[in-house]
């Protein structure tokens, strides 16, 4: 998903390109187009102070009620053949021709009598802004508030697009398809209703496993700066049915970019293999921002199968021994995320003016999600968040008697969030896709730490 300024501008439709050129011409001063990055420490900036105060003034409170009830459901969201694929700009809106494996929405519903929540994971590149906006209009009918809905995605780069309205959205997801967005929203609503109907008192457990053999740091090649942990939650209903929700930080980008075939990549094989042993399984992309998958057989479906199958075996080995227990604690929280001006880079020390960034990408609200189930906290971010931050978050969580899972793509998108030390690397994660500057990773991580304490 490479979106450098020059690349995006070169492949925009002619009319859009002409409008942007007029904007450039209208800017008499060069500083209107190309600017220096703002290196003001984020701790001194209004955007940090505002978001930090918002967290401090409305700390998530774990609400104790009756025994937690949990339900789950999945609904097929595969659109018709001819829908664009999403994930790689060089596809130029290429449409898929065949389905290797269908894509789904998988939903968990939680209720303890005092509070309720739903967790939705989509077999898509992200939880798109257009889909999130469509869902917002339906929550009241479902007796849900926006902060009770936790969105995420598997981040497969071979699922469908058609959901991006702005030029950059068209680059990475093809031409906008109103019918595809509407259908996706309807299927998500259906999955929520089904999951709620199927709720039963359930025991909950949290576990981890070692996925070191299947992941690498693609920014540096380091074997120490990796998030190798597979994290999962296990749910066991009183009626005997069981489910697993799992995260991993390896990018699902095994399959070749120019193959017009719809697929879930390795997360699809993973959940299918898990469902041979449990009644339901779901995957959410973890801190994938600087990590990719290690596989043996090239960019092939064989590699997809091997990776997903191996991950499932590792998880089941731990899950079969995991103790679960009833809990009554459930809380949800949604924090509006104030952001600095965008720093869409040109070279080492220049950036395009914010107005040009917004013209290409749009100006969307962003937020962080907090969902606590028992003593496990899920944190949702609107980004490719780097796994290099996970050690710090886990240390903080453990010191507070909690477990933590981080998931990305929560209904908005702010690019790659990586450590400051990588900012000058000549990598697209640091150059083309680091939309909010050198300090964005430290800033977001500081907010997540606040949510944990």
> How far is Cα 29 from Cα 411, in angstroms, rounded to an integer?
36
| Residue 228, φ and ψ in degrees, nearest 5 | -95, 0
Distance CA 243, CA 147 (A): 24
SS3 content of the chain, % helix, strand, coil (to 5): 35, 25, 40
* Dihedral sign from CA coordinates of 62, 63, 64, 70: negative
SS3 277: coil
Q: Which residues contact 261 (CB under 8 A, 6 or more apart)?
A: 96, 97, 98, 99, 100, 158, 255
Q: For residue 43, how far is the Cα from the chain centroid?
A: 26
Q: What whole-number distance in Å separates Cα of residue 311 and Cα of residue 245?
A: 13
157 is in an annotated binding site: no
Task: Give ∠ CA 139-326-287 in degrees, rounded to 5.
Answer: 60
Annotated binding site for Zn(2+): 155
Annotated binding site: 155
């Amino acid at each position: 998903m490479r979106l450098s300024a020059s690349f995006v501008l070169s492949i925009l439709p002619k009319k859009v390109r002409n409008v942007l050129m007029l904007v450039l011409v209208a800017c008499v001063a060069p500083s209107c187009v190309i600017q220096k990055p703002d290196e003001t420490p984020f701790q001194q900036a209004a955007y940090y102070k505002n978001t930090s105060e918002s967290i401090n003034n409305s700390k998530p409170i774990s609400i104790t009620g009756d025994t937690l009830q949990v339900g789950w459901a999945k609904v097929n969201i595969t659109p018709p053949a001819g829908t664009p694929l999403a994930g790689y700009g060089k596809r130029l809106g290429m449409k898929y021709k065949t389905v290797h494996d269908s894509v789904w929405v998988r939903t968990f519903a939680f209720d303890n009598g005092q509070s309720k929540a739903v967790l939705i994971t989509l077999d898509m590149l992200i939880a798109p802004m257009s889909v999130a906006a469509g869902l917002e209009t339906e929550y009241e009918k479902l007796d849900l508030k926006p902060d009770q809905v936790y969105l995420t995605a598997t981040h497969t780069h071979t699922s469908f697009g058609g959901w991006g309205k702005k030029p950059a959205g068209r680059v990475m997801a093809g031409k906008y398809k109103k019918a595809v967005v509407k259908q996706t929203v309807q299927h998500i609503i259906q999955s929520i209703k089904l999951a709620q109907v199927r709720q039963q008192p359930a025991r909950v457990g949290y576990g981890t496993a070692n996925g070191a053999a299947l992941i690498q740091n693609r920014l540096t090649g380091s074997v120490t700066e990796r998030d190798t942990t597979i994290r999962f939650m296990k749910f066991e209903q009183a009626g005997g049915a069981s489910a697993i929700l799992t995260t991993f930080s390896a990018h699902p980008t095994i399959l070749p970019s120019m193959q017009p075939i719809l697929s879930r990549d390795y997360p699809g094989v993973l959940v299918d293999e898990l469902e041979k042993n449990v009644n339901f399984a779901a995957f959410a992309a973890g801190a994938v921002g600087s990590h990719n998958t290690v596989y043996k057989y090239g960019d092939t479906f064989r590699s997809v199968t091997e990776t997903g199958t191996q991950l499932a075996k590792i998880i089941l080995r731990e899950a079969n021994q995991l103790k679960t227990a009833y809990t009554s604690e459930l809380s949800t929280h949604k924090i509006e995320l104030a952001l600095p001006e965008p720093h869409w880079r040109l070279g080492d020390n220049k950036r395009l003016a914010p107005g040009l960034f917004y013209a290409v990408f749009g100006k969307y609200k962003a937020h962080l999600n907090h969902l606590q189930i028992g003593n496990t906290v899920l944190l949702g971010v609107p980004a490719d968040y780097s796994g290099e931050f996970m050690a710090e978050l886990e240390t903080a969580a453990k010191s507070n008697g909690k477990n933590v899972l981080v998931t990305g793509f929560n209904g908005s998108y702010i690019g790659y969030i990586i450590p400051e030390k990588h900012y000058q690397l000549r990598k697209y994660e640091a150059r083309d896709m680091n939309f909010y500057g050198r300090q964005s990773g430290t800033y977001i991580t500081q907010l997540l730490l606040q949510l944990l304490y």
